[in-house]
Amino acid sequence: METVSENAAFGGVQGVYRHASSSTNCDMTFGLFLPEEVADGPVPLLWYLSGLTCTHENAMTKAGAQAWCAEQGIAMVFPDTSPRGEGVADDEAYDLGQGAGFYVNATQAPWAPHFQMWDYITEELPTLLGERFALDMDRQSITGHSMGGHGALTMAMNLPGRFRSVSAFAPICNPSASDWGRKQLTAYLGADEAAWARHDATLMMQDSGFDGPILIDTGTSDQFLDLLKPEALAQAAAARRQQAVLRMQPGYDHSYFFVSTFMEDHVSFHAEALYRG
């Protein structure tokens, strides 16, 4: 593992690291914020999964999360959104291929050899983080934005006991029924929709729900509301009697100005579960 950069930030360190991934068969880069409390022993870990077109860097520089993670003594990891590099398949569209991994293990050509983001985020990267950094891997929570909110919700519901809490900013809630989803799930997983179900937060909510608290914020002026379908997940969560706070925030859009506005709430929400849950 190679250290790309380390910057002092909010009493801790914002690092960027690169490593050869056996899941994605290419080099992967991630950001990791460690609060100063890491000097005294392992700290809880909050995952932040990013949206379409993002790398590890967007949230790390624009979400303002470090201020709140430092306040709570929580580490935050910022993975990339896909495999990358010259040998990695790509597409001209912004919403398929590099920058658009959708947090699944691809089974279809030409994506399968590298697009194994599910395994990378749920298996390889946690193992690496637990070995290399002073992180308490028994205390993890997860959040994300847009495509990353989809990833956070589906991972949390598919892996009971892994995450103490899950939140999302403007998540893609029902990809099986959205143009942000059908195209990518078809490309990566094939036309058999049975393989898609565990990668759809609304279907997972109907099937099993989440064994902990959920917080979701979506802006009423989000330019992608028709693609996100918060109403589908809201219906499923209410029908299930799932412990959840689903907020529609008046006037907010899909941007990082929206994400950064509510980041303090989300980090506090996770801190409650990580320290007192």
Among 1, 7, 94, 192, binds a second copy (CB under 8 A): 7
Tell me the C-alpha distance between 230 and 175, whole Å: 11
Which is catalytic among the residues 23, 146, 165, 167? Answer: 146
Cα 152 versus chain centre, distance: 4
Q: Which of 103, 118, 120, 252 binds a second copy (CB under 8 A)?
A: 252
Diameter of the chain measured on Cα atoms: 50
Which residue stretch of 9-17, 106-114, 179-187, 233-241 sits at the interface with a second copy (rule: CB under 8 A)? 9-17
Q: Which residue has the tokens 């219906």?
A: 235
* Of the residues 127, 221, 243, 268, which one makes contact with a second copy according to CB under 8 A: 221
Active site residue 200: no
SS3 178: coil
The Cα–Cα gap between 61 and 223 comes to 23
Of the listed pieces 74-82, 95-103, 210-218, 245-253, which binds a second copy according to CB under 8 A?
245-253
Question: Among the candidate windows 3-11, 37-45, 162-170, 181-189, which touches a second copy by CB under 8 A?
Answer: 3-11
Please report how close the Cβ of residue 134 comes to a second copy at its closest, in angstroms: 18
Least distance in angstroms from the C-beta of 7 to a second copy: 4
Taking CB under 8 A as the binding criterion, the range among 40-48, 118-126, 191-199, 250-258 that sits at the site for a second copy is 250-258
Within residues 55-114, the interface with a second copy by CB under 8 A covers 61-62, 64, 66-67
Establish whether the linkage from the previous residue to 110 is cis, with ω within 30° of 0: yes
254 given a catalytic annotation: yes
The alpha-helical segments, DSSP class H, found in 138-255 are: 147-158, 182-189, 201-207, 225-228, 230-240
Among residues 199, 254, 266, 270, the one annotated as catalytic is 254
Distance separating alpha carbons of residues 88 and 156, to the nearest angstrom: 28
Residue choice 25, 108, 206, 255 for contact with a second copy (CB under 8 A): 255
When asked if residue 248 is in the footprint of a second copy (CB under 8 A), the reply is: no
> SS3 for 4?
strand
29 binds a second copy per the rule CB under 8 A: no
213: left (phi over 0), alpha (psi -120 to 50) or beta: beta
Order the strands of the 43-49 sheet from edge to edge.
2-9, 12-21, 26-34, 75-79, 43-49, 135-144, 166-169, 214-219, 244-249
| Residue 47 in the binding site for a second copy (CB under 8 A) | no
CA distances for 229 relative to 1, 120, 177, 204, angstroms: 39, 27, 9, 15
Catalytic annotation, residues: 146, 222, 254
- Interaction site with a second copy (CB under 8 A): 7-11, 14, 61-62, 64, 66-67, 219, 221, 249, 251-253, 255-258, 260-261, 264
